[in-house]
Amino acid sequence: MRRSLLHIICLITAMVILAACSTSRKVAGDGPVSKQKVAWKTGECIVAKTNIHLSDNTKKLDLSVNGTLRMKRDDVVQLSATYLFGIQVGTLEITPDAVTIISRATRQYAILSYEELSSLTGRALSFDDLQDIFWGEAKKSKINGFEWKYESFSQLPDNRPIPSEIIFNVKSGAMSVNLDLEMQNHRMEEGWSTRTSFNQSSYTRLKSAEIIKIISNLTVLSSL
């Protein structure tokens, strides 16, 4: 079970990376965002409660965890997952320098550079590509058995729209996996740590090749 939790965190990471690969930078066409141009300022901070639901069409994967999404514009996106009683499972942290995966359940972590992620996906990836998804600026897409979309939006106190549900789906043959990321109670909040702290001496750092192998396998559903 502990090992599977690492794979769950990697699966979330893989789906976000695939979404960034299959979309253009800014929203085009219809949809809530295109009706109101959103102007974000560097350094703006948003916090939201989340529910992360992973499932597949075989019913073998059916997991829901709560969590928190914290974002500072042009600096960081932090998505943490927790079980009951606030026990943290892991964190996906996206910064301009790298993507960091922390599995507190297995006491492992990995740091992936954008050069490594670009090599994995076969296209240039940047922090902006990943950030745009969470701030509602990326174009929903469908490509090569993978699709994702903004299911709904909510409004900040100043009436700017922000995604409240993002659905990711990967299909391979008869297999289909869904990641439903719901966000609620959005608020503008500063004062939180923009970098996740943990005692690295108590964790095992996975080599980039190891974590990329896990992500590569999960993107084609071969590890489920």
**In a domain? residue 221:** no
Counted domains in the chain: 1
**In a domain? residue 220:** no
**In a domain? residue 78:** yes
Q: Give the Cα-Cα-Cα angle 181, 132, 171 (nearest 5 degrees).
A: 50
128-172 pLDDT, tens per residue?
999 999 999 998 787 777 889 999 999 998 899 999 999 999 887
Question: Do 131 and 74 meet the contact criterion of CB atoms below 8 Å apart?
Answer: yes
Among all chains, which residue has been given the structure tokens 């996106």? 77
We report the CATH number of the domain holding residue 110 as 2.50.20
**In a domain? residue 83:** yes
How much is the pLDDT for 8?
A: 80
**In a domain? residue 224:** no
How much is the pLDDT for 44?
A: 97
How much is the pLDDT for 163?
A: 96
**In a domain? residue 193:** yes
Predicted TM-score (pTM) of this structure: 0.88
Say whether pLDDT at 109 is over 90. yes
Q: Domain limits at 155?
A: 2-215
Share of the chain above pLDDT 90, in %: 49
**In a domain? residue 190:** yes
Question: Do 13 and 98 meet the contact criterion of CB atoms below 8 Å apart?
Answer: no
**In a domain? residue 223:** no
